[in-house]
Chain A
Amino acid sequence: MTTKKTMTLNLADREMEVLEQLCRKKDLSKTAVIRQALRLYQMVEVRFERGEKLYFEDELEKKKGELLLL
């Protein structure tokens, strides 16, 4: 399998708190959450570069909002 490299990650208290919340909610390690976030970020970036858009839709409220990335 793919070889892995180790790095130190510096997070603010609030960021660490959110990371730990996600770990508990998803039953995942911090590394696994960060890797999942990186995959998602890359996927969104690549699809934006292709001219695609990302929407959040609330079927019950009949609301649809485009997510804009800076």
Chain B
Amino acid sequence: MEQDVTIWERESQRLITAVFNDEVGATDLAKAESQWKPVRDAAVDRLKANGKSEREIGMMLQHAHWDWLQKAPYAGLLAMPCLGIRVKEEWQGLAMIELGVKRAELQPDQGKEIVCIEFLEVAPWNLKSMVDKPKYKLVGSRLVEAAVQISISESWHGRVGLFALPQAEQFYQGCGMVKVEGAGRKGMQWYEMSRGAAQAFISGGA
């Protein structure tokens, strides 16, 4: 289902209305990937031209290899809803979440169900690391808010968690999530939003 959501347009310095969709399908993922891949690839090529090694580029653009087409087979599963935000026909951000598979680490809800954000990416033209003049802001925050709302609708009190790429840790801390020591995997830290932090986040307190 689609509904309006506001994001910040950097050029005009004002909030604009975008479209949020909580039932993003395989066709949408393919479209988003076709829009994003050339911009991601161009950012990598620029760094290569500036003499950066593959390893350095991998550190600077940690998600440059993501491919939403590979996630398309999961779109449509009730356990893995895909969320997206678009402006007209241009996708500005996507998130794939997983419901009820992971468990909360933080008290008072340790061991209880949680919404896990498996993947969250904003369009490369919205990232300072990818382009000189990013277009929109707040896209990632809106997707995290949507994950919190889904958690609330599941009676999970807004609990959300994810394995964060190092480049994204600061963003998730800004959302009110905290790192849970010892719960990470594959070089990524486990970040979690408790029920209290979720309440503060959606009411603008984070």
Contacts from A to B (Cβ < 8 Å): 1-3, 26-29, 32, 35-36, 38-40, 42-43, 46
Task: Count A/B pairs, Cβ under 8 Å.
Answer: 42
Report A41 CB to chain B, min CB distance, Å. Answer: 9
Assess the B79–A35 pair: CB atoms within 8 A: no
Report A26 CB to chain B, min CB distance, Å. Answer: 7
Q: Report the separation of the CA atoms of residues A28 and B154 in the bound assembly, to the nearest whole angstrom.
A: 8
**Chain B contact residue count (CB 8 A cutoff):** 17
B3: A residues at CB distance < 8 A: 1
B153: A residues at CB distance < 8 A: 1
Q: Is the interface of A mostly helix, strand, loop or mixed?
A: helix
A42: B residues at CB distance < 8 A: 77-79
Assess the B154–A35 pair: CB atoms within 8 A: yes
- Per a CB cutoff under 8 Å, which of B1, B112, B155 touches A1? B1
Report A51 CB to chain B, min CB distance, Å. Answer: 13
- Per a CB cutoff under 8 Å, which of A2, A3, A27, A43 touches B155? A27
